[in-house]
Structure 1
Amino acid sequence: MAVTKIRKVSSTTLLVLLALSVLIFILFFAGGSGVDAKGNKDYTFTGILLYWTYFLFIATVVATVLFAGRSIATNKSKDAVGRKSNLISTVVLVVSLVAGYFIGSGEAIKGLNEASQAYNTAGWLKVTDMWLYSTYVLFVVTLGAVVWGGVSNRLLGK
C-alpha cells in the first residue's frame, strides 16, 4: 500500500513540475519580446524562466542531499555497498558544486541586453558556472555508471 502511495505522489509531483516547466517555456518564447538599445532581442519573461530554473535546481540538490543523508543515517542493514554508494554520490555532488563555484568565472559578459545586466554580476556568473559544471560532472558520472553496469554484467555474466 505504501509503495503505491509513494509512486502516486512522485508521479503526480513529476507531472505537475513538468506541466509548469512546459508552460513557463512556452510563456518565455510566446510571451513577447522587444529589441533593446543595442539591437539585442529582449524576452519579456526571462526572469520567470531563470527563477523557475533556479528553483528546480535547488529543489533537486536539497532533495538529493536530504534523501541521501537520511538513507545513510537510517540504513543499518548489512548492505555496505549501498551505504558506500549513497555516501559517494552525496560527496561527488557536494564536491562538484564547491569545485564548480571556485572554477567558475566571475568576469562580466559583454554585449548583453539591459535586462540581462542584473544577472551579469560576478556572483551570478560563478553560481551559473557552478551549476553547469556540476551538471556536466554528474552527467558523466551517471553515463559512466550505466556503461560500467552494462559492461560488468556482460563480463561477469550476472
Structure 2
Amino acid sequence: MITLPHRWRQLPAEKLSSKVLGLLIALVILLFALFGLVGYNRPYDEDPNFVAPLFTDVLIVFMELLVVLAMGCAVWSMTRSLKVRGKSEAYENNVPIKKIGYVVSWGTAALLLLSFLLGSAHSMVINGVEYTDEFWLKTADMLIVSSLVLIVVAIGAMAYGATNFMRRDHVR
C-alpha cells in the first residue's frame, strides 16, 4: 500500500490536491514539450510521408497510466463515498446528500453502459489503415458521447445554480 510522507498527511485536502494538480500539470507540460520539440520530424519507417515523433510511446503510456489512475480514483471515491454516506444521515441542511450520491454514481454508470451499448462499431479508415475492432470503436464512441453528455449536464447545472441566486433575490 502506498503511504504518504508524514508531513503530507498533515496537509489539508485542498493543499494536497492542489500540489498533486500542480505536479500533474508540470509533468504534462514537460512531456508535451518533449513530444513537440525533440525528435518530432523523424520519418516513419513504413511510410516516409508520415512522421514518427520520438516521444510518442512515452506519451501514450503516460496517457494510459493517467486513465487507469483516474478510473481507479473514481471507483475508490465512489465506493468510499457511498460507504461513508450509508452510515450517516440521509439529509444535511435539508439537502438529500445520500440520494444525490446514489443518483450521480448510478447515473454515470448507466450513462457509460448505455453509450457503450448504443455506440457505433462501424469501421474507420485513419491514415489509410482500416480499424475494425468493434470493442475499441464502441469504447471510443462511449467516451466521446459520455463526455459530451456530462459537459451538457454540467453546463445545465451551472445555469440552474446561477439562476438560483436570481431566484433568491426575488424571494426577499
**TM-score grouping bracket, smaller chain normalisation:** 0.7 to 0.9
Let me know the Cα RMSD of the aligned residues: 2.9
Q: 2:41 is matched with which residue: 33, 36, 52?
A: 33
The count of residues paired between Structure 1 and Structure 2 equals: 154
User: Among residues 43, 57, 61, which one is paired with 2:67 in the alignment?
Assistant: 57
Match of 1:142 among 148, 151, 154: 154
1:71 aligns to what?
81
Asked if residue 6 in structure 1 is aligned to residue 17 in structure 2, the reply is: no
* 2:136 corresponds to 1:152: no
Q: 1:44 to 1:19 in 2, by over 3 A?
A: same
- Matched residues in 1 for 2:61 and 2:54: separation? 14
How big is the shift at 1:24?
1.8
Task: Give the deviation of 1:3 after TM superposition.
Answer: 8.1
State the match for 1:48 in structure 2: 58
Bigger RCO (CA 8 Å, 6+ sep): 1
For the residue of structure 2 that corresponds to 1:110, the secondary structure is: strand
Q: Which 5+ residue runs of structure 1 have no aligned equivalent?
A: none
Task: State the identity as a percent.
Answer: 23
Aligned-partner Cα distance in 1 for 2:24–2:143:
20
Change in 2 beyond 3 A, CA 1:135/1:82: same
Q: Is the 8 A contact 1:68 1:87 kept in 2?
A: no
Aligned counterpart in structure 1 of residue 112 of structure 2, from 69, 72, 97:
97
Contiguous gaps of at least 5 residues in structure 2: 1-8
Higher helix share: 1
- Cα deviation for residue 113 of structure 1 reads 6.5
TM-score between the two structures when normalised by the length of structure 1: 0.77
The range that moved more, 135-144 or 36-45, is 36-45
Structure 1 CA distance, aligned partners of 2:124 and 2:107? Answer: 29
- How far apart are 1:51 and its partner, in Å? 3.1
Q: Are residues 1:127 and 2:127 paired?
A: no
Residue 55 of structure 1 and its aligned partner are, at CA, apart by: 2.7
How far did residue 135 of structure 1 move?
1.4
Task: Show the 5 A alignment for 1:111-126.
Answer: 111-112=126-127, 121-126=133-138
Letter matched to residue 151 of structure 1: T
1:82 paired to 2:97: yes
Secondary structure in structure 1 of the residue aligned to 2:96: helix
The answer for the alignment partner of 2:4 in structure 1 is none
